[in-house]
A = this chain, B = another copy of it.
Amino acid sequence: MNRLSLRGFDFDQIYGNLRSDPPDSARQDRGMDTPELCGACPVKQQSLCGGLCNSDLSTLNRSGRRHRLRRGDTFCWAGEDSGACANVLDGMLKVVAVTPEGAERTVGLHHPADFIGNPYRDTSEYTITAVTDVELCLFPRSSFDRLLAESHDLERELLRRTLASLGDARSRILTLMHTSAEAKVAGFLLELAGRAGNRAARGSLDGPLTFDLPLTRGEMAEVLGLTIETVSRQLGQFKAAGIVALPALRTITIRDADALRRLTLALN
């Protein structure tokens, strides 16, 4: 995993250069773009910003910067100063707890329009890592906190998003508790399909839907509380049953979403 690094706010300066790639010469490309108007924002409505008045929005806009992470880059490390917060514009990140023994446990995922950051805390409790290439709208903590202290609207939106995250966490608890591996994998595929489907601007899942799996088998296992072997076997069974096709390792076609839905309900 590579450290996040951005102009005027360089983790490497503080913690030493632990990056393994890419070299500095390449960093300009994937690094910070010039400030853009929110007009180009793909999640304008769904994100935090959707509920802000124009004055707050333009304040945020002035401090926000586009930033890209590559698959495997980490946004912030558990226990360390986070220094920035961000809206997810595109891609997917995982929220990982590191146990005392060093094992990694994924406690959640972040999707486009989600907010990442730790308001009122200096350090992050979790490590947040990109599982796909990710595009962020990134705010320095200082200016975000300043606006947060002033803006009632921003705080309300943040509260809304936090409540949504709490709902996510609780539904994850439900799936972890008493569901079979089959139901877990089926449900997760449906969730991914839903996001991939929405992205393609087709809300329904009637016909077959093909999309890239953003996570490796191992990452899926981590999210679902299973082992990599079990996930692989379940996918194999779904394929054998004709419910899905696996045209490539990281590509899947949902052929029978209803069958998956039925499996999700079974043995609840």
Contacts and interface: CB of A to CB of B under 8 A. Distances in A.
Interface of A: 95, 97, 99-101, 103, 105, 107-108, 119-120, 125-126, 152, 155-156, 158-160, 162-163, 165-167, 169-170, 172-174, 176-178, 225, 265, 268
A177 B175 CA distance: 10
Q: Do most interface residues of chain A lie in helix, strand or loop, or is the interface mixed?
A: helix
Contact of A225 (B120, B152, B178): B178
Given A169-B170, A268-B99, A105 B162 contact: no
Ranked nearest first, the 6 interchain pairs of A and B with the lowest CB-CB distance are: A169-B169, A177-B225, A107-B170, A176-B176, A159-B159, A162-B162
A265 B102 CA distance: 12
Nearest to A125: B167
Contacts of A174: 97, 99, 105, 107
B170 A120 contact: no
5 contacts: A108-B170, A119-B159, A120-B160, A152-B152, A169-B169
Given A107-B174, A225-B176, A268-B99, A159 B155 contact: yes
A79 B105 CA distance: 32
Contacts of A225: 176-178
Nearest to A159: B159
Copies of this polypeptide in the complex: 2
A176 B170 CA distance: 12
A163 B107 CA distance: 15
A156 B62 CA distance: 24
Contacts of A103: 178, 268
A107 B174 CA distance: 7
A101 B266 CA distance: 10
Contacts of A99: 174, 268
A120 B158 CA distance: 12
A163 B161 CA distance: 10
Contacts of A119: 159, 163
Q: Which of A95, A158, A160, A166 has the most CB of B within 10 A?
A: A166
A185 to B, nearest CB: 15
A172 B120 CA distance: 22
Contacts of A126: 170
A160 to B, nearest CB: 6
A227 B158 CA distance: 37
A159 B173 CA distance: 21
Contacts of A97: 170, 174
